[in-house]
Amino acid sequence: MSCPHCGTPSSLTTGETRRINWLELTDESNLAGENLEGANLTRADLSGEELTEAVLCNADLSQANLYRAKLTGADLSNANLTGADLTDANLAGANLSGANLQNTNLDSANLNGANLSLANLYRSCLATTQLTADLSFTNLHYADLSKANLTGAKLNRADLTRAQLLGANLTDADFTRARFCETAMPDGDIRTD
């Protein structure tokens, strides 16, 4: 079986999940480029881990600790990251399309060049985050984007219902057909279209 999004081969068969034994990891563990497609990493402590270009599509990372994890260029498409802590994580160039990021903490994360199209960021914290990314068709209901840098971000058809954008940098951000409903704008005004 291979990942339906990136084509990377996997040793897993259809419907099989992979349980990783994190007790065997050492401080020097390096998971860069590893194929962890469909892995069950629920509540895993991956804080500070090197996961650059790792394949984590369809993986379950719900409630995982990914504080300061290095996920540059990683494939997290359709991954479940519900309730995960991605504070200060480097997700530059990562593929998070279709990922479930409900109630996820992305405070101060680097998402420059990341693909978050069709992602669910309901009630997520993206305060002070670098978000020069593709957020097209993204659910940002109740998301906290306070002081986030959205310079040049693509938010085509994004749903910003009751999102907080206080102090955010929206320079050259593309909000084509985005939905604003009781959205707190950078200057404190409430916008509803």
CATH 2.160.20.80 assigned to 36-193: yes
C-alpha 182, offset from chain centre? 24
pLDDT (average), residues 145-168: 96
Which pLDDT tens digit goes with each residue over 103-148? Answer: 999 999 999 999 999 999 999 999 999 889 999 999 999 999 999 9
Rg (alpha carbons) of the chain, rounded to whole number: 16
pLDDT score, position 29: 65
CA distances from residue 171 to 23, 36, 52, 166, 174 in whole angstroms, order as listed: 45, 37, 29, 14, 9
Strand partners, 125: 105, 144
The SS3 of residue 45 is strand
What residues contact 28, with CB distance under 8 A and at least 6 apart?
Answer: none
Binned at pLDDT 50, 70 and 90, residue 30 comes out as confident
Distance CA 193, CA 183 (A): 9
Domain range summary for the chain, segments of one domain joined by +: 36-193
pLDDT at residue 11 is higher than 70: no
Report if pTM > 0.95: no
